[in-house]
Structure 1
Amino acid sequence: MTQTTSRRSGGRTARRAARSAPLSAEMRPIRPGMEGGIFKPLSEAQMGRIHQAALEALATIGLADAPPSGVAHLRAAGALLGDDGRIRFPRAVVETALANACRDITLYSRDGQNDLSLSGARVHFGTAGAAVSMVDVQGRHYRDSTVQDLHDAARITDRLDNIHFLQRPMVCRDIADNREMDLNTIYAACSGTSKHVGTSFTDPDYVADALKMLHLIAGGEAAWRARPFVSNSNCFVVPPMKFATESCQVMENCIAGGMPVLLLSAGMAGATAPSTVAGAIVQAVAECLAGLVYVNAVSPGHPAIFGTWPFGLDLRTGAMTGGSGEQALLTAGCAQMHRFYGLPGGAAAGMTDAKLPDMQAGWEQMCSNLLAGLSGLNMVYEAAGMHASLLGFCHESLILGDDLIGQALRVLRGIEVDDATLALDQMRAVCLGGPGHYLGTPETLARMQSDYVYPALGDRSSPKEWAETGKPDLAEKASARKEEILSRPSAARFDPELDRRIRAQFRIHLPA
């Protein structure tokens, strides 16, 4: 009996050690860029009607407030400037832009280890947003977000397998000067993670300085243009159906500098977009098609992500409902339209209206993240860490989101059916003269890592074990994991000589 107990204990210990050891890329049961596309809330006929409605909106309503440079580019592409100042887009102009559009975008990482291929229905999860507050989990309150918070979010992202990119999730509210804020945003993000980074600019004139910094980081302009590891998140429209003049100028400067752009249309259903799910999708598609014409008029084939980001609204109160079922459908429907056009696309999912990482946050984040992945959305923005309808960001929630997204990715992987997985040979061996169970069989042990995703922080212990270990709280475990990550130097930190050169040219607010 003693020997049997010892063998079982050793086997359990060995299995736990195997689960906790880092897996090689080829052994991981989930990975960036897994294929989605099986969830289709829209039929082919419905997608066709949305497309036709978007074309009609562009031809008859058009968009206002294009900058003079944009008017020139768009008119050269065949768009029409009306007496009312609105730019209208004949069908042939849109079709030409679709024909010229880049359909196979790679978002590069700085180290080359985490490049993202946006072709087809490949799915990637990451952060995004412009939160103005940080969630203090221990104190249960909100405070202003800082550049150190952004840097810490980047460092945490760098260590999480299921957070595939970092788009700036918060505003550095401790930096009053907008130019310095934009430049420090790039510095804080890129010195914290080598994964792809997305950022925005508050003024067109700041793009040139940002490119100087990025050339330094890349090792020269040619190296930057060959592998641009930062993209521009560009709110080029102010819904409904108006160009954002300065953002369009930012976009033109980013295109000239070789930076990929995210064409971001973020209407609020019931406020700045129609209240129906279909209507909100139509407007977002129309606005992004106008952006696609704009980009390809400036530079045919420039990498541009089709960023339809319509958000839901609680019509009783006017509050945003980022964690609602309607939001999940908006995002999934947009993903289908991206695939309808064969364009790399992105939309928002995973944000929650909950103020803390609690049960509400869990159900809201999983609902939209899972449907976004199953619908084949290339870039799932705001997938982790975002609370209070985009007003607050939480480091602990970012860490917990890594576990949550891991489970969503396992669902996305689906069920493999072949001779090995049907397991008839195993059934014969176990049931006909075998041990009567599958625990410890060679087949079970061989697939325990390649088929199963184990949560890093999620608790699967028995109530007895949970009590014996001090009844650990999930948020407390996430805080401990955060402190462990931040206690180590960032693997993405700049070489000291490069850092000195950057600081000599730019006022960096983070300590050296």
Structure 2
Amino acid sequence: MNLMGLQGGQYKPLSSEQITTIHEASLKILEHTGITYEAGLEETIKLLETNGTSIDMDQKRIRFPKELVTTQVALAPEKVLLCGQDPKNDMNLTEDRVHLGTGGAAIKILDPDTGNIRSTTLYDLYKVSRLVDQLSNIHFLVRPCIPTDIDKKDYDINMFYTCLAASGKHVMSGVNDEEGLHRVMELAAMIMGGKEKLKKRPIISITACFAISPLKLCTQSTRIMQEAIRNFVPVALSSAPMAGSTSPLTMAGTLAQLHAEQLAGITICQLTNPGAPLLYGGIPGMANLKTMGYSGGAVECGMMNAAIHQLSNHIKVPNYNSSGLSDSKEPDAQAGYEKAFTSVLASMGGSNYIHHAAGMLESMLTIAHEQFVIDDEIIGNCCKVLQGIMVDEEHLALEVIDSVGPGGDFMTSPHTMSHLRKEYYMGNGVTDRKARGKWESEGSQDARQRALVIAKKLLANEKSYIPNDIDAAIREKFNILLPDK
């Protein structure tokens, strides 16, 4: 059952009038309030000034004319293709087509053997990537954890290498600097057989946290964003305000500010390289004003992320956003309902590239093998909702009803057999529907225990997607720290 790229858009938290109101408010923010910037963006500022923005050097404020924003945003592609090394994992991001996958930069993992918390390693990244590769409802791989056991200078190349070796799905991650970006681009080109082939089939993309909310350009991430755009590497323009902390407490205010940040980022990108592929990357969240921390599992996060797709769709740019976060510290009931609510809302909203949807716990600080498996099941259910109910002659089954007749049963009907595994989502084995006696005889395992068993079975399957000769050339050129299999 193919549950990738299904049609969303059934849930619309904003009316057409509200979308227009927020969009116009965002344009007003850019024109009157403007955005500020960190030092070191002289070339970007010059580019903006040359093209008609108003620069107040004393206040370090950039103000964007409405006409400039509207013109430049219209140049951004309505469709972005993100490819896997295995073509069956290719994703066509456009309109209301929905894809869900991993995300984050966790620094802790629930050890699958001890159950204790510990720091994440490069080998953890490899194992999680192998797991994601085999979980069919997780559509893409955004690097889910940071290897804390290697030097920062080796992060970029090793994170991308490890993900690309372990998975045939599309790989996205941030990078530390422009040099790291170019090394990663060279790595991907070696795997694909050249830069032009990589451009036609981008197996990597970059996330750039260009905006420091509220309304401030980050120097390093803006430079990375523009360099990726210059090289036609697809880039997600990430900005993640927290309502009540780095954006207004109200959802409408947060959406207006975030949309303004995205419009500014898209304008900069299209002035840098018109027509280059990008994703509107609004990730609205909430601050926990009791602790001043991040509250990722709130139902309002699902509502706002669904609204984000409506805003991106309004300007005809595919979007990247978030679901599946939880404030829970382990795979428990709280994690289940927080993830299910936000993921079903974001997917029914029609979001194109929903990251964080698998594996994350403790508001993005922690991952767990079993959580990836549980979330694969949750995502599968979300996608089944998007399929809707088929109503045609075959599915209405009038002839079958007539042949069975009043008082009969459908258990042995050929029609039942032919639809048994297609009409209903069967899951990946996490959900238990056995009778109590059977469940008890098999060890009385809960969902977390069953998921961990599934994860261990999948991780017994070793594989590398990088051919041996290319792998040898990569290892000769770069300091690859993952042991050669």
How would you bin the TM-score normalised by the shorter chain?
over 0.9
> What secondary structure, in the 3-state scheme, does the structure 2 residue paired with 1:389 have?
coil
Q: Which residue of 2 aligns with 1:115?
A: 90
Q: Which residue of 1 aligns with 2:65?
A: 90
The answer to whether the Cα contact below 8 Å between 2:232 and 2:277 also exists between their aligned partners in 1 is: no
Aligned pair partner of 1:269 in 235, 243, 251: 243
What one-letter code is carried by the residue in structure 2 that aligns with 1:466? Answer: W
Cα deviation, residue 75, structure 1:
2.4
In structure 1, the gaps of 5 or more residues are: 1-27
In structure 2, the gaps of 5 or more residues are: none
The answer to whether the Cα contact below 8 Å between 1:62 and 1:241 also exists between their aligned partners in 2 is: yes
Q: Which residue of 1 aligns with 2:78?
A: 103
Would you say 1:347 and 2:311 are equivalent positions?
no
What one-letter code is carried by the residue in structure 2 that aligns with 1:280? Answer: T
Give me the TM-score of the superposition, normalised by structure 2: 0.96
Q: Which residue of 2 aligns with 1:133?
A: 108
Cα deviation, residue 472, structure 1:
2.3
Cα deviation, residue 139, structure 1:
3.5
Give CA deviations for 1:55-90 in whole Å, capped at 9, x if unaligned.
011111111116112112222332221242211111
Give CA deviations for 1:444-477 in whole Å, capped at 9, x if unaligned.
1111122111122211101111012121232222
Cα deviation, residue 429, structure 1:
1.9
Would you say 1:505 and 2:477 are equivalent positions?
yes
Q: Which has the larger radius of gyration?
A: 1
Aligned pair partner of 1:469 in 431, 442, 467: 442
What one-letter code is carried by the residue in structure 1 that aligns with 2:73? Answer: L
Cα deviation, residue 428, structure 1:
2.1
What one-letter code is carried by the residue in structure 2 that aligns with 1:49? Answer: T
Give CA deviations for 1:466-508 in whole Å, capped at 9, x if unaligned.
0121212322222222222222222x43212111111111111
Q: Distance in 1 between matches of 2:92 and 2:381?
A: 21
Q: Which residue of 2 aligns with 1:12?
A: none
Would you say 1:311 and 2:254 are equivalent positions?
no
Q: Which residue of 2 aligns with 1:384?
A: 358
> What secondary structure, in the 3-state scheme, does the structure 2 residue paired with 1:382 have?
strand
Cα deviation, residue 317, structure 1:
2.2
Cα deviation, residue 137, structure 1:
5.2
Map residues 133-212 of structure 1 onto 2, 5 A cutoff. 133-136=108-111, 139-176=114-151, 178-212=152-186
Q: Distance in 1 between matches of 2:389 and 2:130?
A: 34
Q: Distance in 2 between matches of 1:205 and 1:504?
A: 18
Q: Distance in 1 between matches of 2:273 and 2:331?
A: 43
What one-letter code is carried by the residue in structure 2 that aligns with 1:499? Answer: D
Aligned pair partner of 1:55 in 20, 27, 40: 27
Q: Which residue of 2 aligns with 1:42?
A: 14
Q: Distance in 2 between matches of 1:255 and 1:51?
A: 24
> What secondary structure, in the 3-state scheme, does the structure 2 residue paired with 1:37 have?
coil
How much identity, in percent, do the aligned residues show?
Answer: 33
The answer to whether the Cα contact below 8 Å between 1:132 and 1:173 also exists between their aligned partners in 2 is: yes
> What secondary structure, in the 3-state scheme, does the structure 2 residue paired with 1:100 have?
coil
What one-letter code is carried by the residue in structure 2 that aligns with 1:459? Answer: D
> What secondary structure, in the 3-state scheme, does the structure 1 residue paired with 2:305 have?
helix
What one-letter code is carried by the residue in structure 2 that aligns with 1:429? Answer: S
Give me the TM-score of the superposition, normalised by structure 1: 0.91
Give CA deviations for 1:81-116 in whole Å, capped at 9, x if unaligned.
124221111110111112211111111112222110
The answer to whether the Cα contact below 8 Å between 1:277 and 1:329 also exists between their aligned partners in 2 is: no
Between Structure 1 and Structure 2, the one with more strand by share is 2
Q: Which segment is superposed worse, 381-390 or 337-346?
A: 337-346
Q: Distance in 2 between matches of 1:195 and 1:339?
A: 25
The answer to whether the Cα contact below 8 Å between 2:35 and 2:61 also exists between their aligned partners in 1 is: yes
> What secondary structure, in the 3-state scheme, does the structure 1 residue paired with 2:166 have?
coil
Q: Which residue of 1 aligns with 2:345?
A: 371
The answer to whether the Cα contact below 8 Å between 1:204 and 1:247 also exists between their aligned partners in 2 is: no
Count of residue pairs brought into register by the alignment: 480
Q: Distance in 2 between matches of 1:402 and 1:94?
A: 39
Q: Which residue of 2 aligns with 1:480?
A: 453
What one-letter code is carried by the residue in structure 2 that aligns with 1:156? Answer: L
Cα deviation, residue 138, structure 1:
5.3
